[in-house]
Structures are given as structure tokens and as C-alpha cells.
Amino acid sequence: MNSPRGSGLYRRSKHHAVPSRPAEAPPAADVGQVRQISSLTNDLVKDMRGLQAKKERAETGLFLAEGLKLVTDAFVAGWSVKTLAYAEKVRSQPMVAKAIAEALARGVDVVEVSEAVLEKISRRDNPQMVVSVIEQCYQPLEAIDADKATVIVALEGIKDPGNLGTIIRTVDSVGASGVILVGETTDPFAIEAVRATMGSIFHVPIARASLDDFLAFARAKRLPMFGTHLAGAVDYRTPDYPEPAVLLMGNEQSGLPPRLVEACTQVIKIPMVGEADSLNLAIATGVTLYEMRRKRLTL
């Protein structure tokens, strides 16, 4: 299965749809060796750069994570790291050296690259000095334990990867239980989305569902649903929010579609004054999440 952008080194994982997270690093005897790559036309470099494209991510089940923090978070959370690339000049920084050692111990492909290579992979002028390739991980809808959930955030048709990443970060911060991507949405493993999560991508369960499957799931679990809508009749501070519950948000342009509005237990609205037509989607989600969990959060 050759890809038009690279060599197809990253073949699709058998368990792409529902990967199990590896529990343990392989034994130390598996320690690998660091390779050096400076050629911009190297197959691995082309394959890594290819992961900027949604199609390549879908075909390989992999994604790019920029920076030392993200790969370190991935190791701690037990995600499957495939490749770790770093610039020679940061090799001896203690945290980088630690990540390299961890990667080698886990049998990760570790490559020392030129800064030109990092620029090519990242498509950025000032790239991060560490870039990794990690296996995507979606949870199946059925794996979401609705009984133990606090708030599940369902995002219908969300379009902006930065908004999605910021919402995943907020879900983590507020102690919500996960994100369900409903219908056609942006890719949570897009580089801008991953960047905006600041590592929460490794901690927040993410599931995907068609609108029908999502509604069937919510009905089967008898989950109360709260949706924000500009035509909402109830101030978002009025309901006595139960847990578990679903917070349902529509997309940036059109908001919730009628079928989802009808499925809501209550349609809520955040008061607005001034000239703005609407709040940013991530802001509306954040303000509502902090309200829904208000009584349960303390310093």
C-alpha cells in the first residue's frame, strides 16, 4: 500500500479502529539504535511530513506530535509511539536524553535529524526540536462507561482543529469524562488540534459516532442531554445539572441541527450583550462545562 507522499513505511495498524493501549515497555534487551537522517528526501521524513494530511493519517492510523512534552505525556499515558525524531543540538538536554532512552527501551524508532528535516516535517520555520509519530487511539462508543461518567461532551460537526484541541484540554481540566465526535468533524489528530490539547489528547477518551448511533447510545444509557443554542430558552445557569449528563454543542457556523435540538432534555443559552453574534465554540463549551460541574469543583 504505497502512499503518494512517501514510501508507506507506516502501514495501517491492524487494530487502528480500537487499539488497546500497551501496558508495559518491552524488556530492556530490546534496546534499539539511533539512526541519523539529514536527507530531506528520506522515506521516513516524507512519511512523517505526509501525516500533516488527513488522508495519510486516516490510512496509517498515526499522527504527528510536536515537542518534548507531548511525547513524554504519550509515554506516561501508555500510547504507542512509533518514531521519535530530534535535532542533534538538543540530544544532551536531560529531558530529551530521558525521552530518547525511554523510546529506545520501548523499541521506538529513534532518529537524529537536521533542523532542516524538522522544518520539512513540521512545515514551520521555527519547528520544535522533537517530533514524534504516535498511534491514534479512539475509544468505541460502547467503551464509554456512562454510569461512571460526569459530563460527556458531544460535538456535532465541529470544524476547527484549534477549537477541538482546546475543548479536549478543557474537558480534561474540568474533569469531564470524554468527547464524542458526532457526524463529520475535524480530525482530533490534526497537528493543530493535537497542539491545542497541550497533552490532554492522551488523557481524554475520544469516540466517533454517526448522528444516529450517538442518539441510540444516549437513549440506551438514558443520558440527560443539554444543548446550547442561540434560540435556547433557558439560561445556562438555571438547570440543576445531574451527572452523568451530555453537553451537546453544534458546529461553528450553524449550531445544533434540529434533530439534536429536539433530542435535548433542555436547550440552554449563555447570555450575551454587545455586538458579537455568538461566542467562540470553545469558549461557549468551557463556560458551560464549568457551570455544569460548578457544585462538584473545589480548589
Summarize as ranges the residues that interact with a copy of itself (CB under 8 A): 73, 162, 166, 169-175, 196, 198-200, 202-203, 235, 237, 269-280, 282-283, 286-287, 290, 294, 297-299
63 phi/psi in degrees, rounded to 5: -150, 165
DSSP 251: B
| Least separation in angstroms between CB 175 and a copy of itself | 4
Min dist CB 192 to a copy of itself, Å, is 10
Nearer to a copy of itself, 114 or 278 (CB): 278
Closest listed residue to residue 244, CA positions, set 176, 151, 145: 151
Residues paired with residue 278 on neighbouring β-strands, in sequence order = none
Please state the separation of Cα 184 from the chain's center in Å: 15
Report, in Å, the least distance between residue 80 CB and a copy of itself.
Answer: 18
Query: By C-beta, is 61 or 255 nearer to a copy of itself?
Result: 255
CA-closest candidate to residue 251, choices 163, 125, 120, 171: 163
Strand partners, 81: 134
Least Å distance between CB 261 and a copy of itself?
A: 17
Picking from 34, 45, 96, 88, the residue whose alpha carbon sits closest to that of residue 71 is 96
Q: Which residues of 140-175 are buried (b: 16+ CB within 10 A; e: fewer)?
A: ebeebebeebbbbbbbbbbebbebbbbbbbbbbebe
* Of 131 and 174, CB closest to a copy of itself: 174
Between 105 and 270, name the residue whose CB sits nearer to a copy of itself: 270
Closer residue to a copy of itself, CB minimum distance, 16 or 203: 203
* CB 38 to a copy of itself: min, Å: 29
Nearest-angstrom CA–CA distance, 193 and 173: 16
CB of residue 172 to a copy of itself, shortest distance in Å: 4
Strand 130-135 to strand 81-87: parallel, antiparallel, or no bridges (unpaired)?
Answer: antiparallel
Q: How far is the CB of 204 from a copy of itself (least distance, A)?
A: 8
Residue (94 or 274) nearer to a copy of itself, CB: 274
CA separation (Å) from 23 to 19, 96, 189? 12, 22, 22
Of 266, 234, 233, 231, the residue nearest 248 (C-alpha):
266
Residue 44 or 144 with smaller CB distance to a copy of itself: 144
